[in-house]
Structure 1
């Protein structure tokens, strides 16, 4: 709880947020909201009493809704008019979204000199600005030196894939990547977010591990925006250390991923997730008899690998058998599958309740004491008794399943 003096002091401080206002749409699970990085950050920080100026581009189709949200949450919007608001369409929350209504010509706007700035890269507008302090999150894959911004004191926050893309040569060691970015970008702080493995913070000669927190479910769309916003507030407005600011940011991300809410409860806590010390071996149990099943299997396997896991998939690593296979051939395939389970750290099961192979693999794993995460979409509750009763961790959405398997 802030005292009256602390609230007054915060009201005298100003944070300028530069970032996108976009319509976000997801096919599964169904989701459609006007957010974007900048608007999400402005709403998330509107509860902290600080004066917020939000600089964004928006089309005439959603300008009225943006103004309504600005009035509702009490921040000031400074809009740049574009013909249509950019849309981002996700097949699922972990996929790369497809942008729609991206303008052919990108507008350049000069905001002059500002004090403290949270800057998200934008797909529809280039913003030129000079700031005393800045947190830069390159949402548009543009390195800071190409952004048109200048900062005396800069914190660069980016995910693993953005960090790797900004280097002049391939490098997989994130500690080396961070140190290279510190020298390349000439920044004060670098934070590299690494999904289910938390984050790494670089400041001067120090390298710090930033933990993440385990949540019952994981909603990833916008979670990176929240990290940058909360870090920016604590680092620039409250003048806390970069490490303390990153810890607060990670805790807020956990709450957002669990609830989707942008107004945070400081009393709500989550258990710290132990970061794995070695690559995790995951057995991917799933039916693969139809084109749709194989396409989904390929996507889940790809996501697990993107999260740094070693994946054993019977379809990919053993192969299939036809109706004319001999008992010896069938036994060879089955033994290869069971060996794959024996050598795994965890089984991720795409569970429909009707595929006997997946049901057997889950039962075999639990009998061996191997943890099972079961992705159960559209499965009747009575078909889950054996899973829940045998200690499987059941989830109904893909994002949560990938994170829980990777933790």
Structure 2
């Protein structure tokens, strides 16, 4: 919405509209298969439009992305203000928890400038966004080096920061292990924020609005589609806080429910969907909330490159979510049958639960699963090629059988945190 002579190069936005400013990116995932154009801002615009929030999307876009967004905007009911570029950034994932390969990020473009009453701003790869707002929601979208909202000259009379735990610690200058309440307080003081939301995985989200601190839960799903879940949370928080005027804790709780729906369906929740949704929240145990890290036994074959890759992936993802992992390949290695079996069985006795990689129905893995169940240990059994006739004993002994990798990892984490 350019206007000559307007401060910052843009006319002030209508009070009713919300400017969503950020990236529009190509997204490709091998498994589950996914090939779409969304990105943080593109996804947020769709999610907010589904909630009947009036949205104007400000982003860089190449010719292909522009064509997709123009059709989507007409169909979903949001507006566009696109800055043309030669090529959009792309993200290529092996799976939803994998670190993506980023393409097309070599060129940095002149910053977007947006002056609007209500703004949702995401961090960008291919440029920057300088915004001036009455009320703003900011997600830095940076796994390595989150940038403060005002570092590029952006201003907001009332600012809400939505951060993951790492971003919150980094922006606040807090040491690892600092309680989230203390981190949030530092952010309010150092970043001139009125609201801080810190996402904490299965612990839910902590919300500090300057006068009180509350925690809202994460909600359970049968499957987990991870890509874009954080974008969806920000979008629904903003729709509730910016558009509906709800308090920050209520907005965050509704955003958590909407994100659970997104993770389960890959779709954007509407008001009717959320009113009918009665899903259960995750209930971390007092021990887990007190800092105890459950130990998970990683069972699976490691006799080929593909098997070793899978074991390595699962170990990395479980550890990154805060679990202590015992992996026979990493912690015992190859050896005689007597030595390996005794060490592995001892580890199963000492663990809290088992994550089993079951494709191929490896005999050693099945023995480990059976031994764990005989001890009453919970088992999450991940297998993409299930044969019902071969899994009767697994199902009958109450193993949690999951056919999607990312969903299996999350199911293991949720089971662990509730012990």
Please report the TM-score for the alignment, with normalisation by the length of structure 2: 0.89
- The residue number in structure 1 matching 2:11 is none
Pick the aligned partner of 1:29 from 20, 32, 36. 32
- The residue number in structure 2 matching 1:233 is 239
The alignment's C-alpha RMSD in Å is 1.7
CA offsets, 1:78-124, max 9 Å, x none?
0011111111111110122121111422221222x311111111112
Pick the aligned partner of 1:334 from 341, 344, 369. 341
1:167 positional shift: 4.1
Pick the aligned partner of 1:90 from 88, 93, 96. 93
Comparing 229-238 with 201-210, greater Cα deviation is found at: 201-210
1:283 positional shift: 0.8
- The residue number in structure 1 matching 2:392 is 385
- The residue number in structure 1 matching 2:116 is 114
Q: Is the 8 A contact 2:202 2:217 kept in 1?
A: no
CA 1:103–1:68: 2 relative to 1, 3 Å: farther
Q: Does 1:349 align with 2:356?
A: yes
- The residue number in structure 1 matching 2:177 is 172
1:339 positional shift: 1.6
- The residue number in structure 2 matching 1:7 is none
In 2, Cα distance between equivalents of 1:238 and 1:189: 16
Pick the aligned partner of 1:252 from 228, 251, 258. 258
Runs (5+) with no aligned partner, structure 1: 1-10
CA 1:360–1:147: 2 relative to 1, 3 Å: farther
Report how many aligned residue pairs link the two structures. 389
Pick the aligned partner of 2:151 from 142, 146, 152. 146
Pick the aligned partner of 1:403 from 400, 410, 418. 410
1:263 positional shift: 3.4
Runs (5+) with no aligned partner, structure 2: 1-13, 415-419
Counting only pairs closer than 5 Å after superposition, residues 22-101 of structure 1 correspond to structure 2 as 22-101=25-104
Higher normalized strand content (fraction of residues):
1
1:202 positional shift: 1.8
Q: Is the 8 A contact 2:261 2:269 kept in 1?
A: no
Pick the aligned partner of 1:270 from 273, 279, 282. 279
1:62 positional shift: 2.2
Q: Does 1:279 align with 2:287?
A: no
- The residue number in structure 1 matching 2:133 is 131
Q: Is the 8 A contact 1:198 1:275 kept in 2?
A: no
CA 1:400–1:368: 2 relative to 1, 3 Å: same
Please report the TM-score for the alignment, with normalisation by the length of structure 1: 0.91
In 2, Cα distance between equivalents of 1:147 and 1:398: 39
In 1, Cα distance between equivalents of 2:211 and 2:76: 40
CA offsets, 1:246-288, max 9 Å, x none?
1000000111111111133021221111124231111111111
The DSSP-based 3-state class of the residue aligned with 1:80 is: strand
CA 1:59–1:148: 2 relative to 1, 3 Å: farther
The DSSP-based 3-state class of the residue aligned with 2:391 is: helix
1:186 positional shift: 1.5
1:367 positional shift: 1.3
